């Protein structure tokens, strides 16, 4: 695999960190972005990557991130849109400002980052945009109106940009995992336990794994390996795809 310049958002922990580790392991030059500067700097130093502190709900931060990556590496070849949060609440109680923030972070930011990285990829005639989506980009669950809406929108963005990128050697795909063992999911367990009035263990078994054929949480490293595959020449004809890693959730 040719060495490329890769930008990974939400890279201080969880899936984003695992993706950064996988890309660095293949010799790529990785730019890690996260709002958690302390953790991000430490992890980037460990990996030999560049860290950029960025609140991607701020549009100017999206442009700055891509500019910093291009200045450091000469281009942006791979973009992994991973940054996101979760909020569990009935729609009638869902805070309006939280809705605005989540849509900005998980839908508008991937659009802007893709837009700003696009000219670099077109110039080289090669690019990979990988949107870390969710099984909730394909299926809905109650109490997650903003999250599900953002993820469904991200799937639409993936398909549209895939059609536009094909003639320029740019592929755009979405990875749609079920529950991954991350700090975000750990927080969801607490929130779901409170919402449903049940213990944490019951949340995992009766809610998170209820629809899965394989009864376990997915490891972040498994998503990192999927990203490497989508960046490889073996996946050069895959574009506009929902690459589903869901333990059988959507099989029914």
The number of CA neighbours under 13 Å toward the Cβ of 248 is: 8
Q: Who's near 160: CB < 8 A, 6+ residues apart?
A: none
DSSP strand E in 20-137: where? 29-34, 50-53, 78-81, 127-132
- Say how far apart CA 134 and CA 72 lie, in whole Å: 31
14-25 helix and 37-47 helix, angle to the nearest 10 degrees: 20
Catalytic member of 147, 179, 243, 249: 147
Dist. CA 191–CA 217, nearest whole Å: 17
**179 given a catalytic annotation:** no
Phi, psi of 104 (to 5 degrees): -60, -45
d(CA 122, CA 180): 33
Active site residues: 147
């Amino acid at each position: 695999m040719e060495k490329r310049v890769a930008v990974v958002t939400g890279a201080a922990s969880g899936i984003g960190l695992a993706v950064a580790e996988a890309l660095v392991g293949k010799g790529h030059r990785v730019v890690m972005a996260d709002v958690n500067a302390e953790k991000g700097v430490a992890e980037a130093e460990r990996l030999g990557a560049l860290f950029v502190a960025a609140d991607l709900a701020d549009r100017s931060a999206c442009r700055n991130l891509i500019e910093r990556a291009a200045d450091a590496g000469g281009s942006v070849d791979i973009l992994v849109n991973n940054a996101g949060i979760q909020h569990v609440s009935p729609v009638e109680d869902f805070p309006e400002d939280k809705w605005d923030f989540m849509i900005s972070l998980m839908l508008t930011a991937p659009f802007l980052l893709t837009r700003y990285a696009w000219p670099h990829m077109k110039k080289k005639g090669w690019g990979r945009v990988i949107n870390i989506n969710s099984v909730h980009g394909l299926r809905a669950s109650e109490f997650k109106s903003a999250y599900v809406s953002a993820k469904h929108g991200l799937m639409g963005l993936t398909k549209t940009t895939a059609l536009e990128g094909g003639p320029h050697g740019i592929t755009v795909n979405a990875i749609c995992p079920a529950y991954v063992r991350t700090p975000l999911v750990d927080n969801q367990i607490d929130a779901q336990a409170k919402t449903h009035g049940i213990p944490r263990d019951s949340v995992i078994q009766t809610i998170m794994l209820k629809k899965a054929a394989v009864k376990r949480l997915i490891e972040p490293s498994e998503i990192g390996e999927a990203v490497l595959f989508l960046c490889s020449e073996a996946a050069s004809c895959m574009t506009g795809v929902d690459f589903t890693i869901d333990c059988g959730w959507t099989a029914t």
